[in-house]
Amino acid sequence: MDALLQFLLSGVTVGAVYALVALGFTIIYNASDVVNFAQGEFVMLGGMITVFTYQAGLPLPLAAVLAIAITSLVGVALNKLALEPARGAPVVSLIIITIGASIFIRGAAQLIFDKQLHRFPSFSGDQPIHILGATLVPQSLWVIGGAVLVFIGLWLFFTKTLTGKAVLATANNRLAAQLVGINTGWIMTLSFALSAAIGALAGVLVTPITLVGYDVGVGLALKGFAAAMLGGMGNPKGALVGGIALGLLEALTAGYLSSQYKDAVAFIVILAVLFVMPQGLFGKSTTERV
Amino acid sequence: MKLFMTTAVSALTVLGGTAAMADIKLGASVSASGPAAFLGDPEAKTIEMMVDQINEEGGINGEKIDLVLYDDGGDPNKARTFATRLVEDDEVVAIIGGSTTGTTMSILSVAEDAEVPFISLAGAIQIIDPVHKWVFKTPHTDRMACEKIFSDMQKKGITKIGMISGTDGFGASMQAQCKDVAPKYAIEILSDETYGPQDADMTPQLTKIRNTQGVQAILNPGFGQGPAIVTRNKAQLGIDLPLYESHGVASDGFIELAGAAAAEGVRLPGTALLVASILPESDPQKPVVTAYKAAYEAKYGETVSTFGGYAHDAVDLMSHAMKTGGNDPAAIRDALEATQGYVGTTGIYSFSPEDHLGLDLSAFKMLEIHDGGWTLID
């Protein structure tokens, strides 16, 4: 029984990491239909910048805020320098541009920072919390809390604010959005800044658990992307549920079946879900809402 | 890339400018960038530093070593291209390099065809077993690490263990070697778990190992962040079993990532280089590792790694062989194979026609982490 609970806690912890990364995909996708494959690099930058500013002597909260701010600027620069010049290009070309950007950011991080793995202290210590014989590190609660808060924030943003609706309108039909007076260029800049900030926040929260190095972005982006696809691309609820579901699947497979098949089982389930529901678990509601 | 360009260009100007035909040309191809940069970066730096040192001290029998260094980025195809360029265009008399097993295998076939002596810096046992006439290597093998760990377990009376291995190249290779050699030490592997190299949490696997009846110790072959997370997770779960890590994480960085509290009592096989300061004065390796560590850290301002040590031994072995072999590849090879009792940073090498690694288990020191630092067990 305590084993099952341990598997569930592990699954929720890992799932919250995936969910945070998946949530970062939503805004850019909603604004432009582009799946931003540099999203993992935003997570990496959030972690790396925090590590290095913290080592330079800044207090941890300030280092984290600085990392989020700088990463947002990187996001804006990515939009201005790489995506805006190719505005007329089809979505597939834009997605390929983000893959190129991710390789570039990874290379730059390797030169600017270093090639080693890093970590900074957990926010609330490392003393594990015991729940009915299973354990959880306090940082997991930060990650889970962060994922839930970002989810609520995004949900409010897209349903309750005019700017959020403008983002959705821009994705739906850029020309029509312009005609009703939406500054689509600004919306794109905003969506990249917000996505990068969410990515960096994820990096700050997960680094004490997953550790950070210049190349961790690829793996995180892959799992985050899988989670977002499972839940339904572009829907914050889908990202949250998809992430947690993926984490639980992996943990339960590792626990009860075999850790060798952990990733395989997770991806087979995703394929099966997408076969029945090509839009993902919650994908349909997004298209209806717009 | 810049590194290799400047080296290559300066090598060319030296050649063209002074017509120093008597110089001994040494080729190198390491993975100074790319995914294996943690191996190749300290190796490239060490090779350059060592060659400079040898030249400043007057070279080999009065002749300077002319180094041609390429960065293959960890790509076996590039390594093959550079190896071909080294033997055909640069006309080197010996090659050092191959940071990974993949790049080594590429260079190996070129070196064998061209009949040029080659010292590899990669771990796999396949490089020297079966013996290739022209190929040697300095790092110990995964199998030796397993044997060192198992012999320590035997001393502590441990016979039943659980294994949790990374699925990356390093972890998978060592997992296979350990499983293969375990019966020799009467070790029974009751639980065999794995994790992906980027996984964030291994508590399910560790819970399974804990719940397996009779497990007396946990062995974690792996590299990178995995072992640090396994160590933290084991502390989180409060599992009270001895934990053995591999030589892949034998660095101060591991203690930092895992945290001194979680890493307390972790045992792993490491080289003398890692514990240079606590080696007894009587240890024959003490002067070698202290000198290399001091020179490297003074020049580059970063801590030495085991991998740089592999390159140190390769350059040193090669330059000794060049003293007898001069400019003739075949003579250098014969001199290498005749090397006996050479003391390097990794161990004491004695090559023979049947053994192109030349190390035994004494090359590994069993280390235990205590109070955030290393202690010697034997």
Write the residue in B41, B198, B237 that is nearest to A216 by C-beta.
B198
Q: Residue A263 pLDDT more than 70?
A: yes
Residues A171, A148: Cα–Cα separation, whole Å? 25
> In 3D, which of A5, A22, A7 has the Cα closest to residue A206?
A22
Strand A129-131 relative to strand B365-370, pairing = unpaired
pLDDT, residue B19, reads 40
Q: What's the average model confidence in pLDDT over A85-114?
A: 90
pLDDT, residue A273, reads 86
Residues B36, B102: Cα–Cα separation, whole Å? 11
Write the residue in B38, B204, B228 that is nearest to A6 by C-beta.
B204
Q: Residue ranges per domain, chain B? A: 2-140+287-360, 142-271+364-376
Q: Residue B1 pLDDT more than 70?
A: no
The pair of three-digit structure tokens given for residue B353, joined into one six-digit string:
């026609």
Domain A10-115+137-289 sits in CATH at 1.10.3470
Domain B2-140+287-360 sits in CATH at 3.40.50.2300
> In 3D, which of A142, A8, A120, A29 has the Cα closest to residue A67?
A120
Contact A255/B208, CB-based, under 8 Å?
yes
- A7 and chain B in contact, CB less than 8 A: yes
pLDDT in tens, B53-65: 999 998 888 889 9
Backbone angles phi, psi at B360, to 5 degrees: -120, -175
Q: In the structure, what pLDDT confidence band is assigned to residue A1 with cuts at 50, 70 and 90?
A: low
Contact A126/B238, CB-based, under 8 Å?
no
pLDDT in tens, A11-58: 999 999 999 999 988 888 888 888 899 999 999 999 999 999 999 999
Handedness of CA A55, A61, A65, A71 (dihedral sign): positive
Write the residue in A117, A216, A220 that is nearest to B253 by C-beta.
A117
Q: Residue B5 pLDDT more than 70?
A: no
Contact A255/B207, CB-based, under 8 Å?
yes
Q: Residue A286 pLDDT more than 50?
A: no
Contact A126/B204, CB-based, under 8 Å?
no
Answer for the pair B271, B365: CB distance below 8 angstroms, yes or no: yes
Backbone angles phi, psi at B31, to 5 degrees: -95, 70
**Chain center to CA of A190:** 17
Residues B338, B330: Cα–Cα separation, whole Å? 12
| ipTM computed for the complex | 0.85
Diameter over CA atoms, chain A: 60
The pair of three-digit structure tokens given for residue B154, joined into one six-digit string:
């035997």
DSSP, collapsed to helix, strand or coil, labels residue B219 as strand
Answer for the pair B287, B251: CB distance below 8 angstroms, yes or no: no
Write the residue in B198, B228, B229 that is nearest to A219 by C-beta.
B198
> If you search the block for the tokens 């300061």, which residue do you land on?
B277
A-B C-beta contacts closer than 8 Å:
98
- A119 and chain B in contact, CB less than 8 A: yes
Residues A90, A17: Cα–Cα separation, whole Å? 31
DSSP, collapsed to helix, strand or coil, labels residue B351 as coil
Q: What's the average model confidence in pLDDT over B332-337?
A: 93
User: Inter-axis angle of helices A138-160 and A236-252, to 10 degrees?
Assistant: 150
Write the residue in B37, B201, B228 that is nearest to A10 by C-beta.
B201
Residues of B within 8 A of A17 (CB-CB) are 200
Residues of B within 8 A of A215 (CB-CB) are 35
Handedness of CA B138, B144, B149, B154 (dihedral sign): negative
Residue of A nearest to B32 (CA): A115
CA distance B23 to chain A (A): 34
Amino acid at site A73: L
CA distance A61 to chain B (A): 20
Residues of B within 8 A of A223 (CB-CB) are 198
Q: Residue A98 pLDDT more than 90?
A: yes
> In 3D, which of B166, B222, B216 has the Cα closest to residue B193?
B166
pLDDT in tens, A223-257: 899 999 898 888 889 999 999 999 999 999 988 88
Residue of B nearest to A208 (CA): B257
Contact A135/B236, CB-based, under 8 Å?
yes
CA distance A157 to chain B (A): 30
Contact A220/B205, CB-based, under 8 Å?
no
- A3 and chain B in contact, CB less than 8 A: yes
pLDDT, residue A79, reads 92
Q: Residue ranges per domain, chain A? A: 10-115+137-289
A59, A161, A213 from A48: Cα distances, Å: 15, 32, 7
Backbone angles phi, psi at B266, to 5 degrees: -65, 135
- A139 and chain B in contact, CB less than 8 A: no
Contact A117/B195, CB-based, under 8 Å?
no
- For chain B, the C-alpha Rg in angstroms (whole number) is 21
pLDDT, residue B6, reads 52
Instruction: Give A128's DSSP letter.
Output: P
Residues of B within 8 A of A7 (CB-CB) are 203-204, 207
- A289 and chain B in contact, CB less than 8 A: no
Which residues of chain B approach chain A closer than 8 Å at the C-beta?
A: 33, 35, 37-38, 41, 164, 193-201, 203-205, 207-208, 211, 224-225, 228-229, 232, 235-238, 253, 256-257, 259, 261-262
Write the residue in A3, A210, A223 that is nearest to B207 by C-beta.
A3
CA distance A196 to chain B (A): 21
- A229 and chain B in contact, CB less than 8 A: no
Fold topology of B142-271+364-376: Rossmann fold (3.40.50)
Q: What's the average model confidence in pLDDT over B89-101?
A: 92
Contact B201/A209, CB-based, under 8 Å?
yes
pLDDT, residue B169, reads 76
Contact A110/B37, CB-based, under 8 Å?
yes
